[in-house]
Chain A
Amino acid sequence: MKDHQQTLEQNKREQPMSLLLKAMITGFVGGVFWSLLGYLAYFFHFTEISPNMLLLPWDIGDWKYGKRGNYLAIFLIGLLSILVALVYYVSLRKIKSMWAGIGYGVALWIIVFYVLNPLVPGLRSVAELDRNTVITTICLYILYGLFIGYSISFEAQESEYMQEQARNE
């Protein structure tokens, strides 16, 4: 009986904390992984846009175009992605369908390429980008959105299921 109580207590203390933390880790890993894949796509000329797009607005020297710039940008995207994940966590966590994540990815793409893109000097607008670039980036954002969204929703469902189980016992 005592053992039982301990596990219950553990659940209560750990769960809410780890859910948020997991969402943040998911955000970071998702950002890094999918932008690395984006860099690979850039390497093979699938897209004209590399992760260093993030650094372009800032005047920090020419190295931002090279490998170092890209890796730094990938890392920064990872950090930004934590925010993205938190927004999903707060707003859409309860939605069970994985399509919510895909929609979230598309929405992100629209925000980045239609709202933020014009703010960056020297970057062409969507209409001017070539077809491959548009398709590749949309697909990357879709998979990124799926990754973030599905993970967070699933974790939320799982913790709900576990709490229900604990209550039933």
Chain B
Amino acid sequence: MATKTDIVPIFEKLVDNETYLKEKIGIGASFDLGIRKIFVLKREVHLYYCNGLCDTQYLIQLLKQIVQINDDERQSVQAKQILENRLVHQQVSPVRDLNEAIDKLLSGLIVILMEGETSGFIVDVRSYPGRQPQEPDTEKVVRGARDGYVENIIVNTALTRRRIRDERLRFEIIQVGERSKTDVCIAYIKDVADPGLVELVKKEIKQIKIDGLTMADKTIEEFLVKQGYNPYPLVRYTERPDVAATHLLEGHVIIIVDTSPSVIITPTTLFHHVQHAEEYRQNPAVGTFVRWVRFLGILASIFLLPLWILFVIEPSLLPEKLAFIGPNKHTHIPTIVQIFLADFGIEFLRMAAIHTPTPLSTAMGLIAAVLIGEIAINVGLFVPEVILYVSVAAIGSFATPSYELSIANKIARLLLALAVALFKVPGLVIGTTVYLILLARIRSLNTPYLWPFIPFDPGAFMQIIVRRSVAGGKVRPSIVHPQNRRKQPT
């Protein structure tokens, strides 16, 4: 791994600079780096650029201006000042260190060096390949803003700034990765966010020593929360600027990583993963209804299968009114195996759907529906009820707004089902208890994972159960330790 490079002052002779750069970053060897050599007032000027990362139109404009110097000016003594004046761009900064110049050059800025000078200029003519803001696929709403974050950190901070014009909003930038030099931005509102949390996040990010962050935000997350093999997501991701802005105002710290359209919201609890922007685009009553139905779906995705398999194994547990539950037909395969097979079948589908092109995935869905739905039953592999309950649980998973949470729940569901199949009632009861204790034990950036349920906070818990009207929510959630508790004056 490369270590931090030292300062190398710019040489007076352009040839020396050129040799250094050629050796260091391989101009000539790499086809995307180039030099343009021109003469200004009889002195040689070199312009270094990185193809594809800078806007050619601006470059041509700049070159035109520079070349015109030869026609308009006579004094060659002040060549450097004249050159600086003629760089018609708002972001021009002087540079004395060649290595700094290299960093900038490789991020798409252009470096201009002049014969006989020990400092050059850096002009920001960056234009990164990227897409326009689009509505994120995973967080769609019926009404409301359709813009989503993109892979460009500058666009992302701009989208956030558009929503919070507060002078106290801070975007602090840190470069992480010895080789990739990825920009990581920590966003918070200065007089709201807990300074302790901001410090903690900054400290953790600065400690990262790695060659590159190709998986951007996910890599940062793994360094930040150190979750080991716990499947539950410890930070929330969002691709919606309005969601990020809401959380900033509540006192959360947001981490934006260049090259990724999802931003990290910290700190998070389990209940941040079960809310969705759509609830806040509907009126409070509808939002509450939607939320309750969603909670039901999430609970079903964890507990429905284990409960059902318990009743299959021990029908005597069922109250009289529910005695109809349980398979009527007999198969040769134990129910637990059927459940695992069917659940894995759905998992195959889900995984396959991610990387199957759309035209093929229609065919895949058809095959799956016929295979699992019809033929598996006719052949005697599954009883119909298995299909029913596995499907309901799977739909419950899909109703979970957080993709990460839905998969973690799936693992929990299968483990619970296994415990029930092995130990019956004690399996379910002890399994659920251990599950809850383990969840309660998790702390993500010093925040208890099940807050506000365990530990219980009456006010905040009401906020979770009922989607309150925005006008009714006067205080910020206490869990982020906001410096300024009130959102609205009373």
Interface residues of A (CB under 8 A from B): 7, 22, 25-26, 29-30, 41, 43-46, 98, 102, 131-132, 135-136, 139, 142-143, 146-147, 150-155, 158, 161-162, 165
Contacts and interface: CB of A to CB of B under 8 A. Distances in A.
A162 B429 contact: no
Interface in B212-239: none
B455 A150 contact: yes
Given A22-B457, A135-B429, A155-B457, 13 more contacts: A26-B456, A26-B458, A43-B319, A45-B317, A46-B428, A102-B437, A132-B425, A132-B429, A136-B425, A139-B433, A143-B436, A153-B455, A161-B481
A14 to B, nearest CB: 10
A139 B432 CA distance: 9
B204 to A, nearest CB: 20
B433 A162 contact: no
A98 B458 contact: no
Contacts of A147: 454, 456
Nearest to B423: A135
B454 to A, nearest CB: 5
B307 to A, nearest CB: 8
A142 B437 CA distance: 9
Contact of A46 (B317, B440, B441, B456): B317
A46 B425 contact: yes
Interface residues of B, number: 26
A135 B430 contact: yes
A98 B433 contact: no
Contacts of B319: 43-45
Given A44-B318, A161-B481, A165-B481, A135 B426 contact: yes
Contact of B454 (A25, A131, A132, A151): A151
A154 B448 contact: yes
A139 B426 CA distance: 10
Contacts of A44: 317-319
14 contacts: A98-B440, A102-B437, A132-B429, A135-B426, A139-B430, A139-B433, A142-B433, A143-B436, A146-B440, A146-B454, A147-B454, A150-B455, A152-B455, A154-B451
Contacts of B358: none
Rank and list the top 6 A-B pairs by shortest CB-CB distance, nearest first: A154-B455, A151-B455, A151-B456, A139-B433, A132-B425, A45-B317
Contacts of B317: 44-46
B305 to A, nearest CB: 15
Contacts of B318: 44-45
B478 interface: yes
A139 B423 CA distance: 15
Given A44-B318, A143-B433, A29 B481 contact: no
A157 B456 CA distance: 13
A72 B437 CA distance: 29
Contacts of B483: 165
Contacts of A142: 433, 437
Interface in B317-346: 317-319
A131 B478 contact: no
Given A45-B317, A154-B448, A165-B481, A135 B458 contact: no
A41 B430 CA distance: 13
B455 A135 contact: no
A122 B147 CA distance: 67
Contact of B426 (A41, A132, A152, A165): A132
B425 A135 contact: yes
Interface centre among B316, B429, B485 (most CB of A within 10 A): B429
Given A43-B319, A46-B425, A162 B481 contact: yes
Contacts of A146: 436-437, 440, 454
Contacts of A158: 478
Nearest to B424: A132
B456 A29 contact: yes
A155 B426 CA distance: 32
Contact of A136 (B429, B436, B454, B478): B429
Contacts of B458: 22, 25-26, 29
Given A45-B316, A139-B432, A165-B481, A155 B455 contact: yes
Nearest to B196: A165
A139 B1 CA distance: 51
B15 to A, nearest CB: 58
A22 B454 CA distance: 13
Nearest to B448: A154
A162 B319 CA distance: 50
A152 B455 CA distance: 7
Interface in B389-437: 425-426, 428-430, 432-433, 436-437
Interface centre among B317, B318, B433 (most CB of A within 10 A): B433
A26 B483 CA distance: 25
A103 B490 CA distance: 42
A102 B437 CA distance: 9
A35 to B, nearest CB: 15
Contacts of A151: 454-457
Contacts of B428: 46
A136 B310 CA distance: 15
A61 B428 CA distance: 35
A16 to B, nearest CB: 16
